[in-house]
Structure 1
Protein backbone atom coordinates (compact mmCIF):
# COMPACT_ATOMS: atom_id res chain seq x y z
CA UNK A 1 0.00 0.00 0.00
CA UNK A 2 1.40 3.39 -1.00
CA UNK A 3 0.18 6.89 -1.73
CA UNK A 4 1.54 10.28 -2.80
CA UNK A 5 0.05 13.67 -1.94
CA UNK A 6 0.88 16.02 -4.81
CA UNK A 7 0.71 19.81 -4.94
CA UNK A 8 0.90 20.24 -1.19
CA UNK A 9 4.44 20.49 0.19
CA UNK A 10 5.70 21.02 -3.38
CA UNK A 11 3.26 23.90 -4.00
CA UNK A 12 4.92 27.30 -4.56
CA UNK A 13 2.15 28.92 -2.52
CA UNK A 14 2.98 26.80 0.54
CA UNK A 15 5.52 27.44 3.29
CA UNK A 16 6.57 24.80 5.81
CA UNK A 17 6.51 26.93 8.97
CA UNK A 18 7.52 24.30 11.51
CA UNK A 19 8.06 20.57 11.83
CA UNK A 20 8.30 18.47 14.97
CA UNK A 21 8.29 14.70 14.70
CA UNK A 22 5.38 13.74 12.45
CA UNK A 23 3.66 17.13 12.94
CA UNK A 24 4.08 19.78 10.23
CA UNK A 25 2.62 23.30 10.15
CA UNK A 26 1.78 24.42 6.61
CA UNK A 27 1.09 28.06 5.77
CA UNK A 28 -0.47 29.30 2.53
CA UNK A 29 1.15 32.52 1.29
CA UNK A 30 -2.04 33.76 -0.36
CA UNK A 31 -5.64 32.72 -0.80
CA UNK A 32 -5.75 32.18 -4.57
CA UNK A 33 -9.43 31.25 -4.68
CA UNK A 34 -10.86 34.79 -4.92
CA UNK A 35 -13.81 35.04 -7.29
CA UNK A 36 -14.79 38.69 -6.79
CA UNK A 37 -12.94 42.00 -6.54
CA UNK A 38 -13.93 42.44 -2.88
CA UNK A 39 -12.64 38.96 -2.03
CA UNK A 40 -9.36 39.67 -3.83
CA UNK A 41 -8.97 42.97 -1.96
CA UNK A 42 -9.73 41.32 1.37
CA UNK A 43 -7.29 38.48 0.72
CA UNK A 44 -4.56 40.95 -0.28
CA UNK A 45 -4.78 42.95 2.94
CA UNK A 46 -5.12 39.82 5.08
CA UNK A 47 -1.94 38.43 3.57
CA UNK A 48 -0.08 41.71 4.19
CA UNK A 49 -1.31 41.66 7.81
CA UNK A 50 0.07 38.15 8.38
CA UNK A 51 -3.45 36.71 8.38
CA UNK A 52 -2.77 33.60 6.34
CA UNK A 53 -4.46 30.23 6.24
CA UNK A 54 -2.54 27.56 8.13
CA UNK A 55 -2.97 23.80 8.26
CA UNK A 56 -1.61 21.05 10.46
CA UNK A 57 -0.42 17.87 8.77
CA UNK A 58 0.23 14.79 10.92
CA UNK A 59 2.10 11.76 9.59
CA UNK A 60 1.76 8.64 11.73
CA UNK A 61 3.65 5.36 11.41
CA UNK A 62 2.02 2.54 13.34
CA UNK A 63 1.15 5.06 16.02
CA UNK A 64 -1.82 7.00 17.39
CA UNK A 65 -2.86 10.63 17.77
CA UNK A 66 -5.79 12.44 19.35
CA UNK A 67 -7.56 15.33 17.58
CA UNK A 68 -10.03 17.96 18.65
CA UNK A 69 -13.54 16.97 17.52
CA UNK A 70 -14.28 18.05 13.94
CA UNK A 71 -10.67 19.05 13.22
CA UNK A 72 -9.92 16.44 10.55
CA UNK A 73 -10.23 17.53 6.91
CA UNK A 74 -9.03 14.34 5.19
CA UNK A 75 -6.75 11.39 5.81
CA UNK A 76 -4.85 9.00 3.54
CA UNK A 77 -3.52 5.55 4.34
CA UNK A 78 -4.33 2.66 6.62
CA UNK A 79 -5.77 4.70 9.49
CA UNK A 80 -8.59 3.69 11.81
CA UNK A 81 -10.61 6.33 13.62
CA UNK A 82 -12.30 5.62 16.97
CA UNK A 83 -14.19 7.80 19.42
CA UNK A 84 -11.64 7.26 22.17
CA UNK A 85 -14.46 6.41 24.58
CA UNK A 86 -14.35 3.12 26.44
CA UNK A 87 -17.86 2.09 27.46
CA UNK A 88 -20.63 4.00 29.21
CA UNK A 89 -18.37 4.95 32.10
CA UNK A 90 -15.90 6.57 29.73
CA UNK A 91 -18.69 8.48 28.02
CA UNK A 92 -19.97 9.81 31.35
CA UNK A 93 -16.48 10.92 32.38
CA UNK A 94 -16.00 12.64 29.02
CA UNK A 95 -19.37 14.37 29.31
CA UNK A 96 -18.49 15.61 32.77
CA UNK A 97 -15.10 16.91 31.67
CA UNK A 98 -16.72 18.48 28.60
CA UNK A 99 -19.20 20.36 30.76
CA UNK A 100 -16.38 21.45 33.07
CA UNK A 101 -14.03 22.77 30.38
CA UNK A 102 -16.48 23.76 27.64
CA UNK A 103 -14.81 21.42 25.15
CA UNK A 104 -16.22 18.55 23.11
CA UNK A 105 -16.94 15.31 24.97
CA UNK A 106 -15.46 13.28 22.10
CA UNK A 107 -11.82 13.68 21.07
CA UNK A 108 -11.36 11.07 18.32
CA UNK A 109 -8.29 8.86 18.08
CA UNK A 110 -6.56 8.03 14.79
CA UNK A 111 -4.39 4.91 14.74
CA UNK A 112 -2.32 3.28 12.00
CA UNK A 113 -0.01 4.47 9.22
CA UNK A 114 -0.73 7.40 6.93
CA UNK A 115 -1.23 11.16 6.74
CA UNK A 116 -3.93 13.32 8.34
CA UNK A 117 -4.70 16.89 7.26
CA UNK A 118 -6.65 19.12 9.64
CA UNK A 119 -9.01 21.95 8.75
CA UNK A 120 -7.35 25.25 7.80
CA UNK A 121 -7.36 28.13 10.26
CA UNK A 122 -6.35 31.78 10.40
CA UNK A 123 -5.19 31.30 13.98
CA UNK A 124 -1.62 30.30 14.82
CA UNK A 125 -0.44 26.73 15.24
CA UNK A 126 2.01 25.91 18.01
CA UNK A 127 3.96 22.66 18.24
CA UNK A 128 5.23 21.84 21.73
CA UNK A 129 7.51 19.00 22.74
CA UNK A 130 6.21 18.10 26.19
CA UNK A 131 9.12 16.33 27.85
CA UNK A 132 7.98 14.66 31.08
CA UNK A 133 6.14 17.81 32.05
CA UNK A 134 2.61 18.82 33.04
CA UNK A 135 1.16 21.86 31.23
CA UNK A 136 -2.25 23.48 31.81
CA UNK A 137 -3.94 25.12 28.80
CA UNK A 138 -6.47 27.92 28.50
CA UNK A 139 -9.83 26.78 27.12
CA UNK A 140 -10.09 26.27 23.36
CA UNK A 141 -6.37 25.91 22.60
CA UNK A 142 -6.11 22.12 22.27
CA UNK A 143 -5.90 20.90 18.67
CA UNK A 144 -4.04 17.55 18.58
CA UNK A 145 -1.45 15.45 20.36
CA UNK A 146 0.32 12.13 20.43
CA UNK A 147 -1.52 9.71 22.70
CA UNK A 148 1.68 9.16 24.68
CA UNK A 149 0.47 12.34 26.41
CA UNK A 150 -2.29 12.15 29.00
CA UNK A 151 -4.97 14.77 28.33
CA UNK A 152 -6.96 15.33 31.51
CA UNK A 153 -9.08 17.87 33.36
CA UNK A 154 -7.26 19.91 36.00
CA UNK A 155 -9.23 21.69 38.73
CA UNK A 156 -8.31 25.14 39.94
CA UNK A 157 -6.63 24.92 43.33
CA UNK A 158 -8.74 27.75 44.70
CA UNK A 159 -12.29 27.26 43.46
CA UNK A 160 -13.87 30.09 45.46
CA UNK A 161 -11.54 32.69 43.96
CA UNK A 162 -12.19 31.32 40.47
CA UNK A 163 -15.92 31.81 40.95
CA UNK A 164 -15.29 35.30 42.31
CA UNK A 165 -13.31 36.22 39.23
CA UNK A 166 -15.81 34.78 36.74
CA UNK A 167 -13.26 32.12 35.75
CA UNK A 168 -13.95 28.55 34.78
CA UNK A 169 -13.23 25.98 37.48
CA UNK A 170 -11.37 23.52 35.25
CA UNK A 171 -8.84 23.44 32.42
CA UNK A 172 -7.38 20.80 30.13
CA UNK A 173 -3.85 19.70 30.86
CA UNK A 174 -1.23 17.66 29.01
CA UNK A 175 1.01 15.39 31.07
CA UNK A 176 3.87 13.10 30.12
CA UNK A 177 6.03 12.97 27.01
CA UNK A 178 4.92 13.67 23.43
CA UNK A 179 4.04 16.33 20.87
CA UNK A 180 1.18 18.75 21.58
CA UNK A 181 -0.38 21.01 18.92
CA UNK A 182 -2.29 24.13 19.95
CA UNK A 183 -4.44 26.57 17.97
CA UNK A 184 -3.51 29.92 19.51
CA UNK A 185 -4.60 33.54 18.97
CA UNK A 186 -1.01 34.80 18.59
CA UNK A 187 2.16 33.47 16.91
CA UNK A 188 4.52 31.58 19.21
CA UNK A 189 7.30 34.13 18.67
CA UNK A 190 5.06 36.80 20.22
CA UNK A 191 4.52 34.90 23.48
CA UNK A 192 6.37 36.09 26.58
CA UNK A 193 7.50 33.28 28.89
CA UNK A 194 7.84 34.13 32.59
CA UNK A 195 9.82 31.62 34.64
CA UNK A 196 9.06 31.73 38.35
CA UNK A 197 11.24 30.31 41.10
CA UNK A 198 9.23 30.41 44.29
CA UNK A 199 7.81 33.77 43.24
CA UNK A 200 4.51 35.42 42.22
CA UNK A 201 3.09 36.65 38.89
CA UNK A 202 -0.07 38.79 38.84
CA UNK A 203 -1.89 39.35 35.54
CA UNK A 204 -4.76 41.79 34.93
CA UNK A 205 -6.76 39.76 32.40
CA UNK A 206 -6.65 36.36 30.71
CA UNK A 207 -3.34 36.94 28.98
CA UNK A 208 -1.90 33.61 30.15
CA UNK A 209 -2.29 30.88 27.52
CA UNK A 210 -0.45 28.09 29.36
CA UNK A 211 1.19 27.52 32.70
CA UNK A 212 2.97 24.79 34.64
CA UNK A 213 0.72 22.62 36.77
CA UNK A 214 3.21 23.09 39.61
CA UNK A 215 1.95 26.67 40.03
CA UNK A 216 -0.94 27.63 42.31
CA UNK A 217 -3.40 29.60 40.14
CA UNK A 218 -5.90 31.82 41.96
CA UNK A 219 -7.97 34.93 41.31
CA UNK A 220 -7.50 37.63 43.92
CA UNK A 221 -8.15 41.29 44.65
CA UNK A 222 -5.38 43.44 43.25
CA UNK A 223 -5.00 45.27 46.59
CA UNK A 224 -4.99 43.93 50.13
CA UNK A 225 -7.99 46.13 50.95
CA UNK A 226 -11.02 47.31 49.02
CA UNK A 227 -9.59 50.82 49.14
CA UNK A 228 -6.29 49.57 47.72
CA UNK A 229 -8.03 47.77 44.85
CA UNK A 230 -10.12 50.85 44.06
CA UNK A 231 -7.02 53.07 44.11
CA UNK A 232 -5.22 50.83 41.64
CA UNK A 233 -8.15 50.96 39.22
CA UNK A 234 -8.12 47.18 38.95
CA UNK A 235 -10.41 44.90 40.92
CA UNK A 236 -9.26 41.32 40.36
CA UNK A 237 -6.09 39.78 39.00
CA UNK A 238 -4.99 36.28 38.03
CA UNK A 239 -2.21 35.15 40.36
CA UNK A 240 0.37 32.40 39.71
CA UNK A 241 2.48 31.35 42.72
CA UNK A 242 5.35 28.95 43.14
CA UNK A 243 7.90 27.49 40.73
CA UNK A 244 7.11 27.00 37.07
CA UNK A 245 6.51 28.80 33.77
CA UNK A 246 3.69 30.98 32.39
CA UNK A 247 3.21 31.75 28.68
CA UNK A 248 1.71 35.24 28.21
CA UNK A 249 0.07 36.83 25.16
CA UNK A 250 0.79 40.54 25.77
CA UNK A 251 -0.82 41.81 22.55
CA UNK A 252 -4.16 40.11 23.16
CA UNK A 253 -7.02 42.61 23.45
CA UNK A 254 -8.94 42.19 26.69
CA UNK A 255 -10.94 44.57 28.79
CA UNK A 256 -9.78 44.96 32.39
CA UNK A 257 -10.39 42.09 34.77
CA UNK A 258 -10.16 38.31 34.62
CA UNK A 259 -12.46 36.56 32.21
CA UNK A 260 -13.49 39.67 30.26
CA UNK A 261 -12.52 39.01 26.66
CA UNK A 262 -12.88 42.04 24.41
CA UNK A 263 -11.44 40.63 21.21
CA UNK A 264 -8.63 38.54 19.83
CA UNK A 265 -5.89 39.01 17.31
CA UNK A 266 -5.75 36.71 14.28
Structure 2
Protein backbone atom coordinates (compact mmCIF):
# COMPACT_ATOMS: atom_id res chain seq x y z
CA UNK A 1 0.00 0.00 0.00
CA UNK A 2 2.93 2.34 0.71
CA UNK A 3 4.29 1.80 -2.81
CA UNK A 4 0.83 2.43 -4.28
CA UNK A 5 0.52 5.63 -2.25
CA UNK A 6 3.88 6.88 -3.55
CA UNK A 7 2.77 6.16 -7.11
CA UNK A 8 -0.38 8.26 -6.76
CA UNK A 9 1.57 11.06 -5.05
CA UNK A 10 3.40 11.46 -8.38
CA UNK A 11 0.13 11.71 -10.31
CA UNK A 12 -2.07 14.66 -11.31
CA UNK A 13 -5.61 14.11 -12.59
CA UNK A 14 -6.07 16.41 -15.60
CA UNK A 15 -9.69 15.50 -16.29
CA UNK A 16 -12.19 12.89 -15.17
CA UNK A 17 -15.78 11.73 -15.36
CA UNK A 18 -17.37 9.50 -12.70
CA UNK A 19 -20.75 7.84 -13.24
CA UNK A 20 -20.52 5.35 -10.40
CA UNK A 21 -20.29 2.24 -12.57
CA UNK A 22 -17.85 3.86 -15.02
CA UNK A 23 -15.01 6.23 -14.23
CA UNK A 24 -12.45 7.60 -16.70
CA UNK A 25 -9.44 9.70 -15.71
CA UNK A 26 -6.72 11.44 -17.69
CA UNK A 27 -3.65 11.33 -15.46
CA UNK A 28 -0.18 12.79 -15.85
CA UNK A 29 3.10 11.97 -14.13
CA UNK A 30 4.51 14.94 -12.23
CA UNK A 31 8.09 13.83 -12.84
CA UNK A 32 10.13 11.10 -14.52
CA UNK A 33 13.28 10.48 -12.49
CA UNK A 34 13.84 6.76 -12.92
CA UNK A 35 16.41 6.78 -15.74
CA UNK A 36 19.95 5.66 -14.96
CA UNK A 37 21.15 6.66 -18.44
CA UNK A 38 22.62 10.22 -18.34
CA UNK A 39 21.81 10.89 -21.99
CA UNK A 40 18.19 9.81 -21.55
CA UNK A 41 17.92 11.78 -18.32
CA UNK A 42 19.08 14.90 -20.18
CA UNK A 43 16.40 14.40 -22.84
CA UNK A 44 13.76 13.90 -20.15
CA UNK A 45 14.89 17.10 -18.46
CA UNK A 46 14.41 19.17 -21.63
CA UNK A 47 11.09 17.46 -22.33
CA UNK A 48 9.79 18.42 -18.90
CA UNK A 49 11.22 21.95 -19.20
CA UNK A 50 9.20 22.32 -22.40
CA UNK A 51 6.05 21.48 -20.45
CA UNK A 52 5.58 18.00 -21.92
CA UNK A 53 4.34 15.37 -19.48
CA UNK A 54 3.74 11.65 -19.69
CA UNK A 55 0.01 10.94 -19.65
CA UNK A 56 -2.19 7.91 -19.26
CA UNK A 57 -5.86 6.99 -19.37
CA UNK A 58 -7.22 5.08 -16.38
CA UNK A 59 -10.67 3.48 -16.51
CA UNK A 60 -12.44 2.05 -13.46
CA UNK A 61 -15.29 -0.38 -14.17
CA UNK A 62 -18.06 -1.48 -11.81
CA UNK A 63 -20.07 -4.10 -13.70
CA UNK A 64 -19.69 -2.03 -16.85
CA UNK A 65 -17.62 -2.00 -20.03
CA UNK A 66 -15.21 0.03 -22.12
CA UNK A 67 -14.38 -0.14 -25.85
CA UNK A 68 -10.64 0.32 -26.41
CA UNK A 69 -8.45 0.98 -29.43
CA UNK A 70 -6.50 -2.27 -30.08
CA UNK A 71 -3.01 -2.27 -28.61
CA UNK A 72 -3.84 0.48 -26.13
CA UNK A 73 -4.19 -1.82 -23.10
CA UNK A 74 -1.23 -1.51 -20.71
CA UNK A 75 -2.39 -3.45 -17.66
CA UNK A 76 -5.56 -4.30 -15.78
CA UNK A 77 -6.57 -5.49 -12.31
CA UNK A 78 -9.83 -7.09 -11.22
CA UNK A 79 -12.48 -9.39 -12.65
CA UNK A 80 -12.37 -8.17 -16.23
CA UNK A 81 -12.95 -10.15 -19.42
CA UNK A 82 -12.20 -9.19 -23.02
CA UNK A 83 -14.63 -9.56 -25.89
CA UNK A 84 -13.42 -9.12 -29.48
CA UNK A 85 -16.74 -7.32 -30.11
CA UNK A 86 -17.04 -8.71 -33.66
CA UNK A 87 -20.82 -8.97 -33.76
CA UNK A 88 -21.21 -12.00 -36.05
CA UNK A 89 -20.48 -12.28 -39.77
CA UNK A 90 -22.35 -9.08 -40.58
CA UNK A 91 -20.55 -7.24 -37.80
CA UNK A 92 -17.20 -8.53 -39.03
CA UNK A 93 -17.88 -7.21 -42.53
CA UNK A 94 -18.95 -3.81 -41.19
CA UNK A 95 -15.86 -3.51 -39.01
CA UNK A 96 -13.51 -4.44 -41.88
CA UNK A 97 -15.17 -1.80 -44.05
CA UNK A 98 -14.87 0.74 -41.22
CA UNK A 99 -11.16 -0.02 -40.93
CA UNK A 100 -10.58 0.64 -44.62
CA UNK A 101 -12.63 3.83 -44.66
CA UNK A 102 -11.58 5.63 -41.47
CA UNK A 103 -8.08 4.41 -40.55
CA UNK A 104 -9.51 3.12 -37.25
CA UNK A 105 -8.75 -0.47 -36.23
CA UNK A 106 -10.99 -3.29 -37.45
CA UNK A 107 -11.73 -4.75 -34.02
CA UNK A 108 -12.13 -2.64 -30.91
CA UNK A 109 -11.87 -4.93 -27.86
CA UNK A 110 -14.64 -4.62 -25.28
CA UNK A 111 -13.48 -5.03 -21.68
CA UNK A 112 -16.28 -5.91 -19.24
CA UNK A 113 -16.52 -6.47 -15.52
CA UNK A 114 -15.20 -4.75 -12.42
CA UNK A 115 -11.69 -3.43 -11.84
CA UNK A 116 -9.09 -0.97 -13.11
CA UNK A 117 -7.68 -0.62 -16.61
CA UNK A 118 -4.62 1.47 -17.46
CA UNK A 119 -4.02 2.26 -21.13
CA UNK A 120 -0.64 2.88 -22.76
CA UNK A 121 1.29 5.87 -21.36
CA UNK A 122 2.05 8.54 -23.94
CA UNK A 123 3.21 12.12 -24.39
CA UNK A 124 0.06 12.67 -26.46
CA UNK A 125 -2.94 14.66 -25.25
CA UNK A 126 -6.31 13.17 -24.36
CA UNK A 127 -9.72 14.83 -24.17
CA UNK A 128 -12.92 13.62 -22.53
CA UNK A 129 -16.17 14.03 -24.49
CA UNK A 130 -19.59 13.21 -23.04
CA UNK A 131 -22.63 12.55 -25.22
CA UNK A 132 -26.30 12.66 -24.22
CA UNK A 133 -28.24 10.85 -26.92
CA UNK A 134 -26.13 12.62 -29.52
CA UNK A 135 -23.65 11.97 -32.33
CA UNK A 136 -20.29 13.49 -33.19
CA UNK A 137 -18.04 13.16 -36.22
CA UNK A 138 -14.36 13.03 -35.26
CA UNK A 139 -11.07 13.40 -37.10
CA UNK A 140 -9.47 10.24 -38.46
CA UNK A 141 -7.45 8.12 -36.07
CA UNK A 142 -8.17 10.03 -32.86
CA UNK A 143 -10.65 7.60 -31.26
CA UNK A 144 -9.03 6.06 -28.15
CA UNK A 145 -11.70 4.50 -25.93
CA UNK A 146 -15.39 4.79 -25.10
CA UNK A 147 -17.99 3.68 -22.63
CA UNK A 148 -19.65 0.50 -23.93
CA UNK A 149 -23.02 2.28 -24.16
CA UNK A 150 -21.69 4.21 -27.17
CA UNK A 151 -21.58 3.02 -30.78
CA UNK A 152 -18.47 3.66 -32.86
CA UNK A 153 -19.22 3.64 -36.58
CA UNK A 154 -18.68 5.37 -39.92
CA UNK A 155 -20.07 8.62 -41.36
CA UNK A 156 -19.82 9.44 -45.05
CA UNK A 157 -19.35 12.96 -46.36
CA UNK A 158 -22.66 14.31 -47.63
CA UNK A 159 -21.05 16.92 -49.84
CA UNK A 160 -18.84 16.22 -52.87
CA UNK A 161 -16.56 19.16 -52.10
CA UNK A 162 -15.96 17.84 -48.56
CA UNK A 163 -15.01 14.40 -49.85
CA UNK A 164 -12.67 15.73 -52.54
CA UNK A 165 -11.08 18.73 -50.85
CA UNK A 166 -11.91 18.51 -47.13
CA UNK A 167 -8.70 16.74 -46.15
CA UNK A 168 -10.62 13.98 -44.33
CA UNK A 169 -11.47 11.74 -47.27
CA UNK A 170 -14.97 10.45 -47.93
CA UNK A 171 -15.46 8.82 -44.53
CA UNK A 172 -14.89 9.73 -40.89
CA UNK A 173 -15.49 8.11 -37.51
CA UNK A 174 -18.93 8.62 -35.96
CA UNK A 175 -19.60 8.15 -32.24
CA UNK A 176 -23.25 7.96 -31.16
CA UNK A 177 -25.41 7.41 -28.10
CA UNK A 178 -25.19 8.34 -24.44
CA UNK A 179 -21.90 7.97 -22.63
CA UNK A 180 -18.30 9.11 -22.43
CA UNK A 181 -15.50 8.73 -24.96
CA UNK A 182 -11.85 9.71 -24.89
CA UNK A 183 -10.04 11.03 -27.95
CA UNK A 184 -6.32 11.36 -28.62
CA UNK A 185 -5.80 15.01 -29.47
CA UNK A 186 -2.85 16.70 -31.23
CA UNK A 187 -3.05 19.56 -28.71
CA UNK A 188 -4.05 19.91 -25.03
CA UNK A 189 -7.54 20.95 -24.00
CA UNK A 190 -6.25 24.45 -23.18
CA UNK A 191 -5.52 24.93 -26.91
CA UNK A 192 -8.91 23.73 -28.15
CA UNK A 193 -11.54 26.32 -29.08
CA UNK A 194 -15.10 25.05 -28.69
CA UNK A 195 -17.75 26.76 -30.80
CA UNK A 196 -21.48 26.15 -30.36
CA UNK A 197 -23.06 27.27 -33.61
CA UNK A 198 -26.63 28.57 -33.54
CA UNK A 199 -27.76 28.41 -37.15
CA UNK A 200 -24.41 29.99 -38.05
CA UNK A 201 -21.48 29.48 -40.40
CA UNK A 202 -17.86 28.83 -39.43
CA UNK A 203 -15.09 28.82 -42.06
CA UNK A 204 -11.59 27.49 -41.46
CA UNK A 205 -8.49 27.86 -43.64
CA UNK A 206 -6.79 24.58 -42.82
CA UNK A 207 -7.42 21.09 -41.52
CA UNK A 208 -7.58 21.57 -37.75
CA UNK A 209 -11.22 20.85 -36.85
CA UNK A 210 -11.15 17.92 -34.41
CA UNK A 211 -14.85 17.15 -34.19
CA UNK A 212 -18.31 18.42 -34.96
CA UNK A 213 -21.88 17.54 -34.07
CA UNK A 214 -23.54 15.28 -36.61
CA UNK A 215 -26.15 18.03 -37.05
CA UNK A 216 -23.54 20.42 -38.47
CA UNK A 217 -23.17 20.40 -42.26
CA UNK A 218 -19.60 20.15 -43.56
CA UNK A 219 -18.48 21.36 -47.00
CA UNK A 220 -15.55 23.09 -48.71
CA UNK A 221 -15.87 26.47 -50.40
CA UNK A 222 -13.58 28.87 -52.22
CA UNK A 223 -12.75 31.93 -50.16
CA UNK A 224 -13.26 34.17 -53.21
CA UNK A 225 -15.20 33.67 -56.41
CA UNK A 226 -12.92 32.84 -59.29
CA UNK A 227 -9.22 33.55 -59.77
CA UNK A 228 -9.61 37.24 -58.96
CA UNK A 229 -11.09 36.39 -55.57
CA UNK A 230 -8.20 34.10 -54.71
CA UNK A 231 -5.59 36.65 -55.73
CA UNK A 232 -7.32 39.36 -53.70
CA UNK A 233 -7.85 37.37 -50.52
CA UNK A 234 -4.62 35.37 -50.69
CA UNK A 235 -6.54 32.29 -49.60
CA UNK A 236 -7.76 29.13 -51.31
CA UNK A 237 -10.30 26.61 -50.04
CA UNK A 238 -12.11 26.95 -46.73
CA UNK A 239 -13.60 24.18 -44.62
CA UNK A 240 -17.16 25.35 -43.99
CA UNK A 241 -19.38 24.30 -41.08
CA UNK A 242 -23.03 25.35 -41.10
CA UNK A 243 -26.03 24.83 -38.87
CA UNK A 244 -26.57 24.29 -35.17
CA UNK A 245 -24.20 22.24 -33.04
CA UNK A 246 -20.65 22.00 -31.74
CA UNK A 247 -17.38 22.39 -33.64
CA UNK A 248 -14.06 21.94 -31.84
CA UNK A 249 -10.98 23.57 -33.37
CA UNK A 250 -7.27 23.10 -32.63
CA UNK A 251 -5.88 26.43 -33.96
CA UNK A 252 -2.31 25.71 -32.83
CA UNK A 253 -2.08 22.30 -34.51
CA UNK A 254 -0.73 23.63 -37.86
CA UNK A 255 1.90 25.67 -35.98
CA UNK A 256 3.45 22.54 -34.50
CA UNK A 257 3.43 20.95 -37.93
CA UNK A 258 5.24 23.94 -39.43
CA UNK A 259 7.88 23.91 -36.69
CA UNK A 260 8.42 20.18 -37.11
CA UNK A 261 8.80 20.47 -40.88
CA UNK A 262 10.77 23.71 -41.28
CA UNK A 263 11.84 24.89 -37.85
CA UNK A 264 10.80 27.90 -35.80
CA UNK A 265 12.18 30.28 -38.44
CA UNK A 266 9.32 29.30 -40.77
CA UNK A 267 6.91 31.16 -38.48
CA UNK A 268 8.83 34.42 -38.86
CA UNK A 269 7.85 34.75 -42.52
CA UNK A 270 4.71 36.59 -43.55
CA UNK A 271 1.73 34.23 -44.08
CA UNK A 272 1.77 34.76 -47.85
CA UNK A 273 5.46 33.82 -48.04
CA UNK A 274 4.93 30.72 -45.91
CA UNK A 275 2.16 29.55 -48.23
CA UNK A 276 4.08 30.51 -51.37
CA UNK A 277 7.79 29.80 -50.81
CA UNK A 278 10.22 30.90 -53.49
Shorter-chain TM-score above 0.5? yes
Unaligned runs of 5+ in 1: 256-260
Is 1:33–2:34 an aligned residue pair?
Answer: yes
Q: Which runs of 4+ in 1 moved over 6 A?
A: none
The separation in 2 between residues aligned to 1:6 and 1:122, in whole angstroms, is: 24
Q: Is the 8 A contact 2:166 2:219 kept in 1?
A: no
Select between 62-71 and 37-46 the one with higher mean Cα deviation: 37-46
Q: Name the residue aligned to 1:16.
A: 13
**CA separation of 1:161/1:113 partners in 2, compared to 1, >3 Å: closer, same or farther?**
closer
SS of residue in 1 equivalent to 2:31 = coil
**CA separation of 1:87/1:123 partners in 2, compared to 1, >3 Å: closer, same or farther?**
same
TM-score, reference length from structure 2: 0.86
Q: Is the 8 A contact 2:151 2:177 kept in 1?
A: yes
**CA separation of 1:189/1:25 partners in 2, compared to 1, >3 Å: closer, same or farther?**
same
Q: Name the residue aligned to 2:53.
A: 52
Unaligned runs of 5+ in 2: 261-278
Q: Name the residue aligned to 1:117.
A: 118
Superposed displacement of residue 144, structure 1: 0.6
Superposed displacement of residue 231, structure 1: 2.6
The separation in 2 between residues aligned to 1:30 and 1:192, in whole angstroms, is: 28
Q: Name the residue aligned to 1:258.
A: none
The separation in 2 between residues aligned to 1:6 and 1:147, in whole angstroms, is: 32
Q: Name the residue aligned to 2:210.
A: 209
CA displacement 1:187-207 (0-9 Å, x = unmatched): 112211122111111101111
**CA separation of 1:142/1:161 partners in 2, compared to 1, >3 Å: closer, same or farther?**
closer
Q: Name the residue aligned to 2:274.
A: none
The separation in 1 between residues aligned to 2:79 and 2:148, in whole angstroms, is: 18
The separation in 2 between residues aligned to 1:151 and 1:202, in whole angstroms, is: 27
Is 1:68–2:72 an aligned residue pair?
Answer: no
TM-score, reference length from structure 1: 0.89
Task: Please tell me the root mean square deviation across aligned C-alpha atoms, in Å.
Answer: 2.1
